[in-house]
Structure 1
Amino acid sequence: MPQKKHTFKENFIHRTKQGLFWILPIAAILMILFWLYQQVDTIVTNLLSFVGINPQNEIVWIIGILLIFALILYIIGYLISTQIALYFESLFYNIPGFSTLKDIIGIFNSSKEGENRVLVVAIKGFTPDGYNIGLMYSQRESIIKGHYTVTLSMTPIPNGGYLFEVPKENIYVIESATFDDNLQYLLSMGVKSLADVLKVEPKAIEEMQTLEKWLEENKR
């Protein structure tokens, strides 16, 4: 059956949507950070004006605001592991789109821990002796007992991919790799191997840690 040819309009809309959904999480993070910076700037300015301090050096002022902003983010990062943050977050879950946006932004977060930590893994490939490199966005067991979900992303722009339910004994964790490393690997389109990105020597598959062993060592 001959493949249907798409019109210029259809191709343009398709590519535009791909670009939109790829840039949305990045734009959302930048907008939130910029908004938070403005709020911190306003609060600090009002406090200093109240006590009669009026900084003249603009560069020192910006550095000071950034340091205060970084301190606030550190405190928030610390509170995330407490019940206070969980309660505060639960108040927003009734807002339409919040959980979806949170999940999308969470994909780009390489600092997650516990069941939601992002792991770079190798799984059996499409040839008898081959392997594919993918991501695990969660270490929660699949609906199929003993299986876990692995995402294989597209290259060069990972705005799509495939989900596989893989037995845990067939998943090998690449411990030194992060989400960002995997992104570099995908963007290189194979010009760089993951070993090149990580600046490490290649390993035999037997030397890599299985997910089963990783889960045992990282039990809470």
Structure 2
Amino acid sequence: MRSNNTIKHFINTMIQGLFWLLPIVATIIIISWLYTNIENVLGSMFRLIGFMPEKYLFLWEALAVVVFLIILYILGHLARTKLANLFEYLFSKIPGYTTIRELVGIFNSSKKGKNQVLVVAIKGFGNEGYNIGLMYSQKESIIKDHYTITLSMSPIPNGGFMFEIHKDKIYVIENATFDNNLQYLLSMGVKSFTEILRIEPKSIDEFTPLCEWIKNNEG
């Protein structure tokens, strides 16, 4: 029995490590692919005017990095404009694009305001206690005054349950992110949210009610 528990613990720990590593590896692969393609395009352009990157390798690499960062900045700026909405509308006609975009957006901790993924505490399903969940959208549910909350499974958050919760039972854990919640789930509660966020425990009344949070972040 003890041997089986040890093997199960070993496998669960490896899977936790895999889930932690996957977003990092995916990010590195995407950045590497973008950088390589930008470098190839720039190299072809400079060779047309007689500049040979191979002769000035260090200077060329530095220039490629600077151009890459500038392009990322421009794309980030365009993402906030109406031009981005036009591109999104055109790409949304491609089957599967919207689903992929939403899945990628889940892992984007830089989103703010109404597009932010919220970590929330909701009134538990018994008479006592609360549950920690995620709120991927601040859009009202089909049930008036209710919002959709997802409770993920632990320690492997590859599934969960969705509930429609009344707004008066939802409290926002401000400054908590999707990444913080993932750490909490993977630790199976061994690492508390107070440790992850480096804050002192609070009473439920000290957290921001959802209605107040939405009002403060309108526009």
**TM bucket by the smaller chain?**
0.7 to 0.9
Aligned to 1:195: 194
Query: 3-state DSSP class of the match of 2:148?
Result: strand
- Alpha-carbon distance between aligned partners in 1 of 2:20 and 2:97, rounded to the nearest angstrom: 18
Q: Does the C-alpha gap of structure 1 residues 194 and 60 become closer, same or farther in structure 2, counting only changes over 3 Å?
A: farther
Larger mean CA deviation between 115-124 and 24-33 belongs to: 24-33
More helix, by proportion: 2
Q: Does the C-alpha gap of structure 1 residues 206 and 79 become closer, same or farther in structure 2, counting only changes over 3 Å?
A: same
Q: Does the C-alpha gap of structure 1 residues 199 and 56 become closer, same or farther in structure 2, counting only changes over 3 Å?
A: farther
The answer as to 2:195 corresponding to 1:210 is no
* Aligned pairs (5 A) from 1:30-49: 31-49=29-47
- Alpha-carbon distance between aligned partners in 2 of 1:193 and 1:59, rounded to the nearest angstrom: 47
- Alpha-carbon distance between aligned partners in 2 of 1:146 and 1:85, rounded to the nearest angstrom: 31
Identity level (%)? 54
**Aligned CA-pair RMSD:** 2.6
8 Å contact from structure 1 (residues 151, 161) kept in 2: yes
Query: 3-state DSSP class of the match of 2:53?
Result: coil
- Alpha-carbon distance between aligned partners in 2 of 1:114 and 1:165, rounded to the nearest angstrom: 21
Q: Does the C-alpha gap of structure 1 residues 66 and 130 become closer, same or farther in structure 2, counting only changes over 3 Å?
A: farther
Deviation at 1:105, TM superposition (A): 0.9
8 Å contact from structure 1 (residues 25, 105) kept in 2: no
Letter in 1 for 2:77: Y
Q: Could you give the per-residue CA deviations for residues 28-64 of structure 1, whole angstroms, max 9, x where no partner exists? A: 6555433322221112212333342525565664454
Aligned to 1:102: 101
Deviation at 1:25, TM superposition (A): 7.5
- Alpha-carbon distance between aligned partners in 1 of 2:119 and 2:56, rounded to the nearest angstrom: 46
- Alpha-carbon distance between aligned partners in 1 of 2:205 and 2:27, rounded to the nearest angstrom: 39
The answer as to 2:92 corresponding to 1:93 is yes
Query: 3-state DSSP class of the match of 1:120?
Result: strand
* Aligned pairs (5 A) from 1:12-51: 31-51=29-49
TM (norm. structure 2) is: 0.81
Deviation at 1:127, TM superposition (A): 3.0
Aligned to 1:170: 169
Query: 3-state DSSP class of the match of 1:47?
Result: helix
Query: 3-state DSSP class of the match of 2:199?
Result: coil
Aligned to 2:144: 145
Query: 3-state DSSP class of the match of 2:149?
Result: strand
Larger mean CA deviation between 184-193 and 22-31 belongs to: 22-31
Q: Does the C-alpha gap of structure 1 residues 87 and 26 become closer, same or farther in structure 2, counting only changes over 3 Å?
A: farther
Aligned residues: 201
- Alpha-carbon distance between aligned partners in 1 of 2:118 and 2:64, rounded to the nearest angstrom: 34
Aligned to 2:12: none
